[in-house]
Structure 1
């Protein structure tokens, strides 16, 4: 949020040492710690490609590059035309999420390329934990037809975490072998896989004006795909969408989004990677985001349906009893009427009541009410004038180039009006929470709305243990965690310990807890609900974690640690070594109750850094702790 240091060495220089190996054929860019490198090369046939090495071991095989602009494949029949220009980046800034302080340190190369008479630059940035590539658009470019960029997974690739196709990223996630991923069908990112002792996760960053990037598998290749723009799109600015502060440029050049590959040697570094945010612009000069405050949020649509005006005080009072910061007035308020008062007057009343009990308000809206710039600004100003602190915008159209620019303009409006922003029915994030910290969470996830009796929806156990390596690799998600209602936990017997762990494992700086408030207020975990943070000072992925099987996170806020463990569909035993503690401490341990999935075995004891907890987990079981 607050920028603490900004040292970007933007001046270019010609490099004549060993990093540039034969300037006309290949260029090697190393990370600041020299442990990771990207090699850009041109094949004898003229195909531009890249590969990635970790400690000199190839973890991504030579993979094709190329943007298709005005029907010309810029990666085909290409040549590197001049010596490469380099810059280094080193800055720090603060954020809210897995940890508070971010180091943005990388080496970047501008590689001049020509293909079929079109000149452009391939920009490559290499971090200690990943590689990113983007293209400048040739002068006079008018149309994006598609993209040839791909990720060539090595033959020894292990598990792959991926998601099915969904307009709003609400399909199931899976962890399979590579050859179990459907071929020639769109799948959604991020996609995470194991290879050569490393974890790699591929996605995109800083998507401002391009259509959303997805993937298609062809053999060992994961190829770029634009499911919402099969025939491409025209390159043009759209001022009718409002203030386009972010307009698809970098260093005064029109560019594609970054094509990203996180590369780490352990899961803790994988989950803590800030690569996508680091690739996005800092907030504009003069923008103040000190007002952005994370917290817990109560909402009612999932548990009881549309909010009733005469019931709203009960929900605000419950949020206050839980010591939670926010309440969401969800879909249904626009139908309120009472005597001579319309929905806006009644909404103003409930927001005002929330303030009297110390609870802030977030208001739901259908995006169709605010697609045009002027109408959107007027609507948001009206919501702000009523005293609301945030907006939840739902039912957003396909993520075309036009709509991605609408996202940018909407974010700018909310930043200027100091409204927290939660996109629902939306596209995945691409790191732009760095630019707009009030874009604090968004859906684009198959969350607990897909486990509810009134729609006969049942979520498989495996979903919860895949998501940390698919959707959550793109950033915070509004999963709406923690179902406690026993009626909702009969068809699939998720345990209360598993459900509570969702709020620890799944990052959302404003966390909307899904269930009816009575289940929290009457819970044997009430004190934990009143204390649980939504942002963290430190995050560890514990060694028992295995993608698609079981996940275990330890997160610290201040001097307290919280542990969340969620099991998939197979019974197992896991061990939790408490060696991350600095000293002995009092602990609240939440085990599954062997007699019922809707009760807990709560234990209070003192634990030390030498202790190892042994936990038996049933399918859908879990464990939680406050230390």
Structure 2
């Protein structure tokens, strides 16, 4: 994907309207004037609120840092006129659609807080709001943050996740009172209030500790579980592009609030990537290619040396682009050859059948820069196309900078990158598109017999509106082995729908290759895309109950439907079609490990009525 700056205009005016000058309240509206953010220093407390028209989205909530043990949200005064500007640009992405539009009004509000000069920087989009702080000069230590989200009184339901070091906790949809209180919970957190869907998270985390949330009543507060006592502020690196600065100033990440009138609006929002820097000047990412990947670890464990050609051959038969050689290759042995030579031979064979290789590594192999560079050079030299980095330490400020360094070095070597056992993404796949997917999700590794793990059905129909709003997720989709589906009884159609609903520009299909080769859906596995030209969340979708996506690639539409734990009937209007077309329809079969396939001609006037078994699903190609 070549980075092309289609249009970029950032206009900073020397001063805003004179009314900003001495006022202790600043209001910034979205380009369409439907959403507004008000920042206030009334009563010497730094606060904000968000409204959609006259509807409260976030009620008055605290802002501010705690730095060098001082409360920089208290004893606050807005000290001058806000510098305002507009963001108006477009850029290519690999995701729900091919082009992201970045249009917002921005203001930098100068404040004095506890005797320190700093700024609150805000952006207001048509679909959300973002807030960040400049870090005052001379600050040596970040103790924490006061930023919070005071939720409106009428929360219909809220989607959230258990605390987990690598975001592999269960996800739930509950009422607000059922959300864990007084302990860390993981974002993004999404709630429905009246006519709006709202999701809160963060963007552009470069050298700040990862943020989770802590609930107290109807308030969600920023919390840093991996740095409970804070961290040292380090000067910006001169060699790392993502060095924690914005317009030359040391800053915090953006604190984000996505706002939409539908789940479709949330899923199609580019707010998180919009808030991140473009790639370094002169970058060319045309070599970054999405695709499908074979993967053996889930089904058989460590890869066996004498078995590798079969996996490459199977990927070739499925017309898949990649094969991931996972943990265990380091133990390969053959007289006169070390594991690196044997790995190269496997990669070389893959090339003969048109399949590229991704190689697994434990992050402990290169936590420090010299070792990392040497290891990545070695991976590149043996012909791998990408690397999967696993077992990454807690997401402290130092480790977040390690992520940024690794993204940059992999980009320099033209290596695709998949962080596993990792922190959630924060939009920096815009900056380095080679960071093509990452785990940070409770995926199918939590539904497997050898570890006695069973996934509840609600989780599958919740993550599209929690973790996946942060960015692509390596869920390792599509289990077909009947033995593995004997507990929750997810259906084959449900499993295939994961590959359509869960965005991952490289999808690592989870099961043993023979199940795909022998599948009644084999032809569809050969064709299913991993990135899209258009995405629609269909009207029957309900967080935590059922999820239905229609996605278009070129002139072909794919529909994926996943059901939760209760039998239901859904209707799928085909109004997205432009002309009558032949449709391949895959319904749940008589058992969860069978399908009922049909072909019929459909048009935009048709409405499909689908009966879904518990944990069932539906797939269509048309």
- Shift, 1:42, TM fit: 2.0
Matched residue, 1:590: 586
Deviation at 1:24, TM superposition (A): 2.5
Deviation at 1:43, TM superposition (A): 3.1
Q: For 1:108-257, what aligned pairs fall within 5 Å after superposition?
A: 108-237=106-235, 243-257=239-253
Map of 1:622 onto structure 2: 617
**In structure 2, what is the Cα distance between the partners aligned to 1:218 and 1:427?**
24
Deviation at 1:131, TM superposition (A): 0.2
Structure 1 residue corresponding to 2:344, chosen from 348, 353, 357? 348
Question: Among residues 594, 606, 621, which one is paired with 1:611 in the alignment?
Answer: 606
The equivalent of 1:6 in structure 2 is 7
Instruction: State whether structure 2 residue 414 is matched by structure 1 residue 418.
Output: yes
Pick closer, same or farther for the CA change 1:243–1:309 going to 2, 3 Å.
Answer: farther
1:470 is aligned, of 466, 469, 472, to 466
Aligned pairs (5 A) from 1:356-395: 356-395=352-391
TM-score, normalised on structure 1? Answer: 0.98
The offset of 1:192, in angstroms, is: 0.5
How does 1:271-350 map onto structure 2 within 5 Å?
271-350=267-346
Summarize deviations over 1:562-613 as a string: whole Å, max 9, x none. 00000001111111011111111100000001x2110000000001111111
State the Cα distance separating 1:4 from its structure 2 match: 3.7
Note if contact 1:422-1:441 (Cα within 8 Å) is conserved in structure 2. Answer: yes
Give the C-alpha shift of residue 196 in structure 1: 3.1
Q: CA deviation at 1:246?
A: 1.0
Q: Secondary structure at the match of 1:79?
A: strand
Measure, in 1, the Cα distance between the counterparts of 2:413 and 2:21.
52
Query: 1:57 touches 1:196 (CA, 8 Å); kept in 2?
Result: no
Contact 1:13 1:87 in 2 (8 A): no
Query: Structure 2 CA distance, aligned partners of 1:210 and 1:4?
Result: 28
After TM superposition, give the deviation of residue 9 of structure 1 in Å: 2.2
TM superposition outliers: structure 1 runs of 4+ over 3 Å: 20-23
Equivalence for 1:24:
23
1:401-441 Cα distance to aligned partner (Å, 9 max, x none):
11001000001100100000000000000000000000000
The answer on 1:92 being equivalent to 2:90 is yes
1:545 pairs with 2:541: yes
1:67-86 equivalences under 5 Å are 67-86=65-84
Query: How far off its partner does 1:3 sit?
Result: 2.2
Following superposition, the deviation at residue 74 of structure 1 comes to 1.1
Give 1:15's aligned residue.
Answer: 16
Q: Distance in 2 between matches of 1:193 and 1:207?
A: 23
Q: CA deviation at 1:7?
A: 2.1
Within 2, Cα distance between the matches of 1:384 and 1:119? 47
How far the C-alpha of 1:39 sits from its partner, in A, is: 0.7
Contact 2:12 2:83 in 1 (8 A): no
1:243 Cα deviation after fit: 4.2
- Cα distance between partner residues in 2 of 1:176 and 1:519: 36
Contact 1:277 1:432 in 2 (8 A): yes
Structure 2 equivalent of residue 432 of structure 1 = 428
Q: Which residue of 1 aligns with 2:525?
A: 529
Partner of 1:497: 493
Closer/same/farther in 2, CA of residues 4 and 237 from structure 1, 3 Å limit: closer
> Shift of the alpha carbon at 1:13?
3.0
Q: Using the alignment, how far apart are the partners of 1:341 and 1:553 within structure 2?
A: 49
Instruction: Return the alpha-carbon distance in structure 1 between the equivalents of residues 22 and 578 of structure 2.
Output: 51
**What is the SS of the residue equivalent to 2:10?**
strand
Runs of 5+ consecutive residues of structure 2 not aligned to the other structure: none
Shift of 1:460: 0.4
Instruction: Measure the CA separation in 1 of the matches of 2:277 and 2:115.
Output: 31
SS at match of 1:597: coil
- Equivalence for 1:511: 507
Contact 2:116–2:136, Cα closer than 8 Å, also in 1: yes
Counterpart-to-counterpart distance in 2, 1:31 and 1:418: 38
Instruction: Tell me which residue corresponds to 2:40.
Output: 41
- Any idea what the Cα deviations from partners look like across 1:137-195, whole Å, max 9, x if unmatched? 00111000000000000111111100000000000000011111011010000000111
Answer yes or no: is the 8 Å Cα contact 2:236–2:250 preserved in 1: no
State the distance in 2 between where 1:256 and 1:10 align: 22
CA distance in 1 between counterparts of 2:21 and 2:462 reads 43
| CA root-mean-square deviation | 1.1
What secondary structure does 1:531 align onto? coil
2:103 to 102, 105, 114: 105
1:263 matched to which residue of 2? 259
Q: What displacement does 1:269 show?
A: 1.2
* C-alpha displacement of 1:22: 7.2
The secondary structure found in structure 2 opposite 1:410 is helix
Q: Which residue number corresponds to residue 572 of structure 1?
A: 568
Determine if contact 2:21/2:81 at 8 Å carries over to the other structure: no
- SS of 1:587's equivalent? strand
Deviation at 1:238, TM superposition (A): 8.4
Q: 470-479 or 1-10: which moved more?
A: 1-10
Partner residue in 1 for 2:597: 602
Q: Is the 8 A contact 1:243 1:412 kept in 2?
A: no
SS in 2 for 1:391: strand
CA distance in 2, matches of 1:569, 1:216: 28
User: What is the SS of the residue equivalent to 2:601?
Assistant: strand
CA contact (8 A) 1:495 1:620 kept: yes
Contact 1:156 1:196 in 2 (8 A): yes
Does the CA-based 8 Å contact 2:236-2:243 persist in structure 1? Answer: no
Task: Measure how far apart 1:83 and its partner are.
Answer: 1.0
Choose from 478, 483, 488 the match for 2:484: 488
Query: Post-superposition shift, 1:25?
Result: 1.4
CA distance in 1, matches of 2:294, 2:11: 45
Distance in 2 between residues matched to 1:92 and 1:483, nearest whole Å: 37
Deviations 1:81-107 (A, max 9, x none): 111110111011111110001111111
Contact 1:35 1:56 in 2 (8 A): no
The 8 Å contact of residues 24 and 79 in structure 1, kept in 2 or not, is answered as no
